[in-house]
Each structure stands twice: as structure tokens, then as C-alpha cells.
Amino acid sequence: MMAKLFTQASFVLSICSTIFSVVWSINPFVLEEQLLWKSSSEGEVSTYRIPIIVQVPNGDLLAFSEARKYSSADAGAKFIAMRRSSNGGQSWGPNAFILNDYKVPDGLNLGTVMVDSLTNNTILMHTFCVHSVCNGTAGEKPSGVFIVISSNFGYTWSEPINLGEKNPELLELHIDPGPGYGIQKKYPPNKGRLVTCGHTPVAEERSMSCLYSDDGGITWSLSTPLAGLPYGQAKQTGDFVPT
């Protein structure tokens, strides 16, 4: 059994090494650079982090980021910021805060964005209170993974939906989706499935799992986790740490 595990881990590490070597060899030509957010200025936000850009079916580009209100820390209060371009990124509309956790000590974290080509819905997945334990008091939501959905290309968004509302196994789920993108399967089996992956926040127990939906993001399920090695121990340089 252990030999099989090490063989699988070696195979994964080999794939990762190949991917990284390809990525680092890419040297794109930068035609133009634009500054979408500037920390400590735009909206009086301390730090903007985790930028994600996605194209929605009407052709617009939507750019998202975490607007960390009071410090650059991963925990802490945040907005989720969004800007729109309707001309391929040549110019951008004003900054909009589509989510706000007010002044909670451990709030929003931007996860992944995905577009369902079957419904044209845009789905933004994020976490709340993933670094600690929140009990829902003082106006706080319970900890877990949430989505907001837009059916009109990002002009309006639903209220946050806790994935545990439809699947109790996902209540207070401590996993950080992304950050980055979700995907949609274009071919069988499970054509149309939405998939997004993330890691657990505790480094010593670091593992990676995927969340998937076969009904356009209404209900979600959790995959079998891929654990870090050595399991349950502090990680060092060279250890396998899936993120």
C-alpha cells in the first residue's frame, strides 16, 4: 500500500514539475499594461490581492479582487471588488464592491470564478471565516464556502448561498477554493459538470479537494482529497504540498 502511495506521489510530482517548467518557459509579449487597483488609495482599501479576470458570454471582461480593508492579512474584513470592460480591456468601468463583510475578524476570501456555458450564469465562489471558528453571532455568517450567481453578466448578483444549504456534508467546510478559475466539462462523461478545486488552510494537514456540480451550481459535492506528504506532519522544502 505504501509503495503504491509513493508511486502515485512520484507521478504527481513528475507532472507538476513538467507543468512548472512549461509555465516558466512562457514569455508573453506585453502590449499594454493597465493598473486596475492600487492599494491604500482606491476605495481607501489597505490592500488589493487575488486578481481574477473572466470573459462572460456577452463579451465583457469582469475583473475581481479581494479588497482587504484594514491590513494585508489573509484573515480580516474585506470587500470583493469588481471592474468591467466592454471593449476587450482597453478601458474599465468604475470599481464596484459586490460583497461586503463589514468589520468581522475573519471574513471573505476570494476563491474561483466560473461561467456556465449552458445557462450563461457567472458563479463566484468564496469562503467566509475559513481561518478560524465563527458561530454566527454578532451578525456573522457561519464559516464555510459560499457562491454568488449572476444571470446578467455581472450586473447584479444573488445573495451569498452557503453550499451546505443543499448538501449538509458541506456545512462549515474549511477549504480555500482556488484562487483562480473553475472549469466546465465540455465532453462526456458528466458533460456540463462544473469543477473547482482548493486546499485546506492548515499547513500541517494540507490537502486538496475539488467541488463539483452537475446541475449548474445549485448543489455541490466534495471529491476525495489528495493529501500532502508526509501526512499530518509539518512540511519542509521538497515535501508534497498540494495547493
Residue 3 lies in a domain: no
Judged by DSSP in three states, 215 sits in coil
**What integer best gives the mean pLDDT of the chain?**
86
In tens, the pLDDT along 179-230 reads 999 999 999 999 999 999 998 877 667 789 999 999 999 999 999 988 888 8
Confidence of residue 83 (pLDDT cuts 50, 70, 90): very high
E-state strands within the chain: 47-55, 61-68, 78-85, 96-100, 108-115, 122-128, 144-150, 161-162, 176-177, 180-181, 183-184, 194-199, 207-213, 221-222, 226-227
Residue 6 lies in a domain: no
Residue 17 lies in a domain: no
Residue 163 lies in a domain: yes
Strands 180-181 and 108-115: parallel
Domain that holds residue 97: 42-227
Between CA 71 and CA 46 the distance in angstroms is 5
In tens, the pLDDT along 24-50 reads 667 778 778 889 999 887 667 999 999
pLDDT at position 110 over 50: yes
| pLDDT confidence of residue 130 | 81
In tens, the pLDDT along 1-13 reads 444 444 444 444 4
Domain count, the chain: 1
Q: For residue 89, what is the domain's CATH number?
A: 2.120.10.10
Three cell numbers at 121? 450564469
Residue 59 lies in a domain: yes
